[in-house]
Chains A and B, each alone.
Chain A
């Protein structure tokens, strides 16, 4: 069967496309590109690119970043892929370069895969600051770390050792398999466990890809595969929330400890019902805030990102750049039933 011509659909489709583009000129109120601002230190345009959208941890850090950008009078926008993949991020890095953003603040899904795109962006004078999860040092100007990697790993090791009395089987529920930060922490955790807690064995490491449903399913799989599991350590807020949710509704509540890095708001009900004893984190809002100020320092040319450079970070005070362009926010903080009511993020 055949159909001759779509001649009368000419007006229909033309109207449609004009409508679609009309949407572009009046739409875009979910963060506009703002690409025509010059790099005067008052009007910097900063784009935040977390690992993925819809992640409560990054929503908090983005809020901190927005607060900082408004404080120093820049324009803020946030973009991100739906899934925490490196090629999803490349698209947004390219767009930021096209738009001529002054700075890009991102948490990387892979240490080296996005390097090509980042360097292209830096070639067109986009300052690149990583936070939370780093890339290779040659692709970015600064890295704002929430705490030292050793500190984060130690905090989790101590928490789990305390909760299972120094011996037993544990499993790790991580984010995505290539995430720079989680992989580094897991490596340090395993080293510390081997050195200081020889009776604790890490039986499995699984990846929930920072996706709530997948992390939930991985927890179920872990508990079915390893019947003698004593604890699950999840160095990602999405993972720990999903694991706690699974365990609190199952027969394992109270038998299998859940700890790691979580946000107070997500974990409050599980701490209150006893599924989770204690977990650690830092303040992601402060992290985003600091990252925005660091980006502003680099974009306005105040610092070059070398060791020893100092810059002002609003209400957090003055910060100094360490080795390899790393800026450390502070120390990790332990949340438990006593202090969890004091926080709202």
Chain B
């Protein structure tokens, strides 16, 4: 063990298995603290709070149609937020999801209404095109190593341009009634729309993928430090390519649902949805720089946006004010880590250095290099080591 480890475990030698004197940075807080005092749980608590306030004070929120419309409105958002979480955890971003959705909507429209293919076949081809869109993004980001922000802004315009170019501003609205009804139907007699079945399957699949597979662990490693992840044996390029393929294909699937639900296929369908998806993901506690996040937080973030929009709309608030509120919420949630870090740095500077290893301030890179320095053998050793236990906390 290195001097760094000795210092943080607080034991003089590593052979003495004294349980009292030894603590691990990742587990120094009790389990309930680690679970419930986290960004994800904060958002879940906020969601419950907002829901309760809406149910009691907003007219008609507890009506039979609310849950149905809310879930149908949120379904594409929830679907796309799942692979977007994976992308953001690796430290990249994908702004082209809404354009892929629009392109898939146009393709379903053209293939079904104009060419005459059935909905399943048209849908499958649209998903295939979504995969290709993802491959293009992934190739440029993972293999050519271009910044994903630039690449996906470009593909946002490219895919949207293709979609609008194929159809102009005409909308195709002549869809097979059976499939349109299926898209808007409910499960049995309940208020839950049928689209939630595929959505729940996707949620489970992504939760397992992110939290219980080596691939998922690799994503967190890439988000923390790409070089270190590569040296640890994670196939960085292939993982990143996979995340982009997932966003492409899920966006295409969401586009199919959107088209059938609204009964119209237009080139400009779902314009601006990528910002809502990213808002949901960031509200859910996923760090924009990568390396931190969980699926349950993202779900809560998406539902929070849905409930707030639904409640405010029922109160007659215009869509602009709703956007302002969600925007402010998003800004606060993105600033929160930086503010917290700043406040704690201020506290530690004013109140002296903290003693417990895990009590070292949650920091961004610059302060990480400086604060553990006095306790460790050198700044170089501390930075990767400090990161590693934290990785397992999340």
Contact = CB atoms under 8 A, between A and B. Distances in A.
Contacts of B333: 9, 13
Contacts of A97: 65
A24 B39 contact: no
Contacts, number: 194
B60 A35 contact: yes
Contact of B45 (A14, A25, A98): A14
Given A77-B316, A85-B268, A1 B173 contact: no
A113 B173 contact: yes
Interface stretch (B12-20, B132-140, B335-343): B335-343
A47 to B, nearest CB: 10
Contacts of A207: 168-169
A94 B39 CA distance: 33
B269 A87 contact: yes
Nearest to B290: A1
A27 B337 contact: no
A79 B320 CA distance: 12
A14 B73 contact: no
B371 interface: no
Q: Give the interface SS of chain A, mostly helix, strand, loop or mixed.
A: loop
Contacts of B49: 14, 17-18
B336 A16 contact: no
A33 B316 CA distance: 5
B312 A24 contact: yes
A2 to B, nearest CB: 5
B387 A2 contact: yes
A100 B63 CA distance: 9
Interface in A1-16: 1-10, 12-14, 16
B268 A12 contact: no
B170 A178 contact: yes
B315 A14 contact: no
A42 to B, nearest CB: 20
Residue among A1, A12, A85, A113 with most chain B CB within 10 A: A1
Nearest to B38: A5
Given A177-B169, A209-B169, A3 B54 contact: no
A331 to B, nearest CB: 31
A82 interface: yes
Contacts of B391: 2
A28 B311 CA distance: 11
A4 B362 contact: yes
B179 interface: no
Contacts of A113: 171, 173, 262-264
B317 interface: yes
Residue among A4, A16, A82 with most chain B CB within 10 A: A4
Query: Interface range on chain B: under 10, 10 to 19, 20 to 34, or 35 or more?
Result: 35 or more
Contacts of B325: 20, 23
B57 A25 contact: yes
B263 A115 contact: yes
Interface residues of A, number: 59
Contacts of A111: 173
Contact of A3 (B37, B69, B174, B292): B292
B60 A33 contact: yes
A8 to B, nearest CB: 5
B181 to A, nearest CB: 8
A99 interface: yes
A85 B258 CA distance: 14
Nearest to A97: B65
Contact of A8 (B180, B264, B316, B340): B340
Interface string A91-115: 1001101111000000000111111
Contacts of B362: 2-5
A87 B109 CA distance: 15
A83 B266 CA distance: 13
B340 A9 contact: yes
B59 A99 contact: yes
Contacts of B337: 3, 6, 9
Given A21-B53, A207-B169, A16 B316 contact: no
A31 B316 CA distance: 6
Contacts of B264: 86-87, 110, 113, 178
B332 A16 contact: yes
A24 B224 contact: no
B319 A1 contact: no
A36 interface: yes
Given A24-B317, A85-B266, A120-B65, 18 more contacts: A3-B287, A7-B37, A9-B333, A13-B336, A14-B45, A16-B328, A17-B49, A20-B50, A21-B308, A23-B321, A27-B315, A28-B316, A33-B316, A36-B59, A113-B171, A114-B263, A177-B171, A209-B169
17 contacts: A3-B364, A8-B343, A9-B39, A10-B37, A20-B329, A21-B53, A23-B312, A24-B54, A25-B315, A28-B316, A33-B59, A79-B318, A82-B319, A95-B313, A98-B60, A98-B65, A207-B168
Interface of B: 37-39, 42-43, 45-46, 49-50, 53-54, 57-60, 63, 65-66, 69, 73, 168-171, 173-174, 180, 184, 224, 262-264, 266, 268-269, 285, 287, 289, 291-292, 308, 311-319, 321, 325, 328-329, 332-333, 336-337, 339-341, 343-344, 362-365, 368, 387, 390-391, 393-394
The 8 closest A-B pairs by CB, nearest first: A9-B336, A4-B362, A113-B264, A6-B39, A87-B262, A28-B315, A177-B170, A28-B316
Interface of A: 1-10, 12-14, 16-18, 20-21, 23-25, 27-28, 30-33, 35-36, 77, 79, 81-83, 85-87, 90-91, 94-95, 97-100, 110-116, 120, 124, 176-178, 207, 209
